[in-house]
């Protein structure tokens, strides 16, 4: 492959990537504009509806609607939308499917052009949905870990406010003013649901199920029991904060001890693919026996063994605390 063709393929891929970033930035700007409008007091100033209104072309709107219907049929439980909500991605399930399909097409064409082998293009297009799912899972896990780290301090702040004579809702509000996301974002949602007439315990329970944080589930159960049997809520929250803080210390120690295994799983799994890609670009004739006859089955068995080793190592180093 000549240098001009490689440069052209790279520019096309870069242009499509910038287009995708622009679309995501537009969605995020629209969401932030809507949030600013909702925070304004009534009658403070007139707000234009254009920044937050849907301004898609009919073709794009119909395509996203079709993708949404397909997602609803395949994912009747709404797990994809729930994962997007946990990851705080301001997109709908249909929009994510469209972006993933476009990314798969772009990556498939790009790797096919770079390597001059359709097999790499098919592999890249097939791996794109899994990479998108891994990205969402990574965002959810990162946000959950940040919440777990902030939870003991948040409970201590709420308990101190209760000891000072504030109500439970006022204590939560004061904690939100002093905390950072994602803690402040999630508890602000709890306050909003409470203002709409819901129970604060039910709102906390919904947050625990939405975030899937075991420590928070225990906190909600303890608060629910305390409301039934009575007692000092501040002392209970202080005890829970100390218990969760001790669990967090153990969790960090486990992460340190298993760091080498987790890194080894990624390195050992990515190394064969990267070496094969480099050889294909620099010396395409060397790998030609793998693309016909028995070589295809050998290549498939190699991929299967690499994936099996990756999941086995990940399973070995995954320790629940």
Q: Please report, for the domain that includes residue 222, its CATH number.
A: 1.20.81
Residues 242 and 266 in one domain: no
**What is the rounded CA–CA span in Å between residue 316 and residue 237?**
35
Give me the domain span that covers residue 173: 145-246
Residues 240 and 278 in one domain: no
Name the pLDDT band for 20 (thresholds 50, 70, 90).
Answer: low
Residues 231 and 286 in one domain: no
Q: Which residue has the higher pLDDT, 4 or 109?
A: 109
| Domain-ending residue, one of 193, 224, 246 | 246
- What pLDDT, in 10s, does the model give residues 211-262? 888 888 888 888 888 888 877 888 888 898 998 888 888 888 888 888 888 8
Q: Is-contact 240 248, C-beta < 8 A?
A: no
Residue 138 lies in a domain: no
How many CB atoms lie under 10 A from the CB of residue 52? Answer: 18
pLDDT at 305: 92
Mean pLDDT (the chain) is: 79
CA neighbours closer than 13 Å in the CB half-sphere of residue 223? 22
Share of the chain above pLDDT 70, in %: 76
Residue 321 lies in a domain: yes
Residue 108 lies in a domain: yes
Residue 58 lies in a domain: yes
| Domain-ending residue, one of 198, 219, 246 | 246
Q: How many domains does the chain have?
A: 3
Residues 187 and 228 in one domain: yes
Residues 77 and 110 in one domain: yes
pTM: 0.68
Residues 210 and 236 in one domain: yes
Residues 164 and 217 in one domain: yes
Residue 95 lies in a domain: yes
Give, to the nearest 10 degrees, the angle between helix 168-178 and helix 118-163: 130
Residues 225 and 278 in one domain: no
Residue 127 lies in a domain: no
| Domain-ending residue, one of 203, 226, 246 | 246
Q: Which residue has the higher pLDDT, 106 or 32?
A: 106
């Amino acid at each position: 492959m000549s240098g001009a063709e490689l440069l052209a393929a790279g520019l096309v891929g870069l242009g499509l990537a910038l287009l995708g970033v622009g679309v995501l930035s537009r969605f995020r700007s629209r969401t932030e504009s809507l949030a600013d409008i909702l925070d304004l007091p009534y009658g403070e100033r007139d707000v234009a509806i254009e920044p937050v209104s849907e301004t898609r072309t009919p073709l794009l709107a119909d395509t996203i609607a079709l993708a949404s219907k397909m997602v609803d049929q395949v994912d009747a439980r709404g797990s994809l939308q729930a994962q997007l909500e946990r990851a705080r991605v301001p997109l709908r399930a249909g929009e994510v499917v469209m972006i993933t399909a476009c990314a798969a097409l772009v990556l498939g064409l790009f790797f096919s052009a770079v390597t001059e082998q359709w097999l790499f293009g098919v592999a890249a297009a097939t791996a794109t949905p899994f990479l998108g799912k891994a990205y969402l899972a990574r965002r959810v896990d990162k946000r959950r870990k940040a919440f777990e780290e902030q939870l003991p301090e948040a409970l201590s702040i709420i308990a101190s406010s209760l000891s000072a004579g504030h109500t439970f809702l006022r204590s939560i509000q004061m904690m939100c003013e002093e905390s950072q996301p994602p803690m402040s974002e999630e508890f602000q949602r709890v306050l909003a649901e409470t203002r709409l007439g819901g129970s604060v315990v039910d709102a906390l329970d919904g947050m625990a199920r939405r975030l899937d944080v075991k420590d928070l589930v225990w906190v909600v159960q303890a608060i629910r029991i305390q409301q039934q049997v009575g007692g000092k809520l501040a002392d209970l929250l202080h005890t829970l904060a100390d218990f969760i803080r001790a669990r967090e210390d153990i969790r960090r120690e486990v992460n340190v001890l298993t760091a080498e295994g987790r890194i080894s799983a990624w390195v050992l799994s990515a190394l064969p693919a990267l070496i094969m890609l480099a050889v294909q670009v620099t010396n395409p004739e060397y790998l030609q026996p793998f693309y016909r006859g028995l070589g295809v089955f050998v290549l498939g068995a190699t991929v299967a063994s690499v994936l099996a080793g990756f999941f086995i190592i990940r399973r070995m180093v995954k320790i629940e605390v």
